[in-house]
């Protein structure tokens, strides 16, 4: 497994959580220390480690969940933070079979570009594309032969001109020749360059301009650890890097540092190299990768389970809401639930079932993050009793959270509606109970929900 040491440590941490009889404050603190140790020993940047673990701690301490789900919830928190640190999932590379596709690889000498060109060729060939590679490296002696030998193993042709010493000319001529011959994917290798070598950087830029590739991929040596960041950064400044491939992640303790450093440049990691052989290559799927680091192959199943549990309100909150005690934090929880479940299931399940109109779900999707920022700029007192928020405070909150003044008003308007609805539903429930059943109430509740769907536009 890639990043074996980190994986082993995280796996141990998770096992320890699972074995605990209950997750209390002490357990969370121990977990955080375990996590910090594991991440620091894989060379993840200190600041990043503390930011991550602080987030996990805060969420873990502040979230009320049914006890049975708490362990899974904590694991999911760790998972989500790791994914965030790794920069999330890249958009798929847009390669269309039958069209003229070009990928350009750049990076420092020795980072593994040429090997990676052949690995990519193998990967895309197996997807049914007609792949060819081109080398424009006129610096390294025997560059053409090196790539040719590698691609021979997989029955892919390498184009190039060992006699030509102008890389730009080779790039244009050979790529054109390849596309004219009917290949639909040309993977172009470049000479190694140092981030300070102005001449080579210029050459790379020119090659990019003439070839107009679908994507420029930066190849970075994973054994660099955190230093990968400055390399990725200076390449990103010079050229239009679409994504990154981190190589040599086999047997390096610094892999964690390289991965997070690359992700920090906001270029997603697309593949990882895990050995010298052409098979030692993986599509980088953050979720699967993190799942295997944590020793949980079916991480998606776990996440789904936790999301459902998170979306269910705790009984105390439900009771308060039914009495009309509905705070702005409750509003966020509800919107989150709507976003997660796609349904107003949590509230309605208490009332006897039913769905809320889809419009609500879309609106929750759009506004939730902004509203959360706004709410986090408020005092606890204001969150609990938004009536006290007057004009000048609204202005301050708007500035503090970087939104327009009208956003605050609209949010508070929706909050008031929701609060009224909660109260009415609570009363309806009481009446329903007094009448000896829930049936009559359900219809009225649904009427109200329909009305809400109309009015509840953010
Ligand atoms: N262990 C390991 N070695 C690699 C990996 N990728 C490339 N290499 C080795 O790194 C060295 C430099 O690779 P090369 O492709 O010539 O780098 P370039 O100068 O950027 O083209 C070679 O010895 C490769 O076999 C990898 O993922 N793991
Ligand atoms: Mg090379």
Written as six digits, the tokens of 218 are 């930066």
The Cβ-side half-sphere exposure at 65, using a 13 Å CA radius, reads 23
Q: What is the pLDDT of residue 193?
A: 66
What is the pLDDT averaged over residues 236-241? 85
| 305: pLDDT strictly greater than 80 | no
Ligand 2 mean position, distance from CA 12 (Å)? 39
Q: What is the pLDDT of residue 343?
A: 39
pLDDT of 318-377, one tens digit each? 677 667 677 888 777 776 666 655 434 444 444 433 334 444 545 555 677 788 888 888
Show the DSSP H helices in 212-341 as ranges: 228-238, 255-264, 286-293, 299-311, 315-322, 328-341
pLDDT of 63-112, one tens digit each? 766 555 778 888 888 998 888 888 777 778 888 888 899 999 999 999 99
Model confidence at 436, pLDDT cuts 50, 70, 90, reads very low
Query: Is the Cβ atom of 112 under 6 angstroms away from ligand 1?
Result: yes
CA-nearest residue, atom 22 of ligand 1:
112
Please state the atom number of ligand 1 nearest to the C-alpha of residue 275.
Answer: 28
pLDDT of 175-205, one tens digit each? 999 999 999 999 999 987 665 678 878 888 8
∠ at Cα 365 (363, 368), nearest 5°? 90
| 457: pLDDT strictly greater than 60 | no
∠ at Cα 165 (162, 167), nearest 5°? 95
Q: Which residues of 400-419 are buried (b: 16+ CB within 10 A; e: fewer)?
A: ebebeeebbeebbebbeebb
CA-nearest residue, atom 6 of ligand 1:
112
Q: What is the pLDDT of residue 146?
A: 96
Q: What is the pLDDT of residue 357?
A: 44
Q: What is the pLDDT of residue 329?
A: 82
Please state the atom number of ligand 1 nearest to the C-alpha of residue 107.
Answer: 20
Ligand 1 mean position, distance from CA 274 (Å)? 10
What is the pLDDT averaged over residues 372-387? 88
Ordered structural domains, the chain, with CATH: 4-89 (1.20.120.140), 101-284 (3.40.50.300), 312-455 (1.10.260.30)
Which residue did the predictor score with more confidence, 278 or 339? 278
| 453: pLDDT strictly greater than 60 | no
Q: How far apart are CA 43 and CA 379, in angstroms?
A: 38
Query: Is the Cβ atom of 248 under 6 angstroms away from ligand 1?
Result: yes
Q: How far apart are CA 83 and CA 232, in angstroms?
A: 19
CA-nearest residue, atom 14 of ligand 1:
112
Least confident of 84-93, 123-132, 206-215: 84-93
Q: What is the rounded average pLDDT for all residues in the chain?
A: 81
Counting ligands in written order, the one closest to the CA of 138 is 2
CB neighbourhood size of 34 (10 A): 18
Counting ligands in written order, the one closest to the CA of 143 is 2
CA-nearest residue, atom 10 of ligand 1:
112
Q: How far apart are CA 36 and CA 41, in angstroms?
A: 8
Q: What is the pLDDT of residue 180?
A: 94
Q: What is the pLDDT of residue 439?
A: 39
Ligand 2 mean position, distance from CA 113 (Å)? 5
Q: What is the pLDDT of residue 353?
A: 34
Counting ligands in written order, the one closest to the CA of 144 is 2
Q: What percent of the chain has pLDDT over 90?
A: 33
pLDDT of 345-358, one tens digit each? 444 444 433 334 44
Please state the atom number of ligand 1 nearest to the C-alpha of residue 189.
Answer: 21
| Sequence-separated (6 or more) residues with CB below 8 Å from residue 387 | none
Q: Which residue(s) pair with 58 in the sheet?
A: none
Query: Is the Cβ atom of 115 under 6 angstroms away from ligand 1?
Result: yes
pLDDT of 142-176, one tens digit each? 999 999 999 999 999 999 999 998 999 999 999 99
pLDDT of 19-49, one tens digit each? 888 888 888 899 999 999 988 888 888 888 9
Q: What is the pLDDT of residue 401?
A: 86
Q: What is the pLDDT of residue 177?
A: 96
């Amino acid at each position: 497994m890639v990043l074996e040491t980190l994986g082993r440590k995280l796996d141990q941490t998770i096992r320890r959580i699972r074995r605990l009889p209950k997750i209390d404050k002490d357990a969370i603190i121990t977990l955080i220390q375990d996590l910090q140790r594991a991440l620091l020993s894989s060379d993840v940047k200190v600041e990043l480690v503390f930011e991550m673990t602080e987030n996990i701690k805060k969420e873990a301490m502040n979230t009320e969940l049914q006890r049975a789900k708490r362990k899974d919830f904590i694991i999911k928190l760790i998972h989500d933070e790791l994914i965030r640190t790794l920069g999330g999932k890249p958009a798929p590379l847009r390669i269309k079979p039958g069209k003229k596709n070009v990928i350009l690889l750049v990076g420092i000498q020795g980072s593994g570009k040429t090997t990676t060109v052949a690995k990519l060729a193998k990967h895309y060939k197996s997807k049914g594309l007609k792949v060819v590679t081109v080398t424009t490296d006129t610096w390294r002696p025997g560059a053409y032969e090196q790539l040719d030998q590698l691609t021979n193993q997989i029955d892919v042709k390498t184009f190039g001109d060992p006699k030509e010493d102008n890389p730009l000319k080779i790039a244009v001529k050979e790529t054109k020749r390849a596309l004219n011959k009917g290949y639909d994917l040309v993977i172009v290798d470049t000479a190694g360059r140092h981030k300070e070598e102005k001449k080579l950087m210029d050459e790379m830029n020119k090659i990019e301009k003439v070839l107009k590739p679908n994507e420029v991929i930066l190849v970075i040596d994973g054994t660099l650890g955190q230093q990968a960041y400055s390399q990725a950064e200076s390449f990103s400044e010079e050229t239009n890097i679409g994504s990154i491939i981190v190589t040599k992640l086999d047997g390096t303790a610094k892999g964690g540092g390289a991965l997070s450093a690359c992700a920090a440049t906001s270029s997603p990691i697309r593949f990882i190299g895990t050995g010298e052989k052409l098979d030692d290559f993986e599509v980088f799927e953050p979720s699967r990768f993190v799942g295997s680091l944590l020793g949980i192959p079916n991480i998606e199943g776990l996440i789904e389970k936790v999301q459902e549990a998170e979306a269910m309100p705790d009984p105390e909150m439900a009771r308060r809401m039914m009495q009309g005690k509905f705070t702005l934090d409750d509003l966020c929880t509800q919107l989150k639930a709507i976003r997660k479940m796609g349904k107003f299931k949590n509230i309605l399940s208490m009332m006897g079932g039913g769905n809320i109109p889809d419009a609500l779900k879309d609106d929750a999707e759009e506004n939730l993050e902004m509203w959360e920022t706004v709410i986090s700029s408020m005092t606890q007192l204001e969150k609990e009793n938004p009536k006290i928020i007057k004009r000048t405070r609204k202005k301050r909150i708007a500035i503090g959270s970087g939104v327009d003044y009208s956003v605050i008003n609209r949010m508070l308007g929706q909050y008031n509606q929701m609060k009224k609805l909660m109260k009415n539903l609570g009363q309806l429930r009481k009446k329903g109970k007094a009448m000896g059943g829930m049936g009559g109430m359900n219809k009225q509740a649904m009427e109200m929900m329909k009305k809400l769907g109309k009015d509840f536009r953010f």
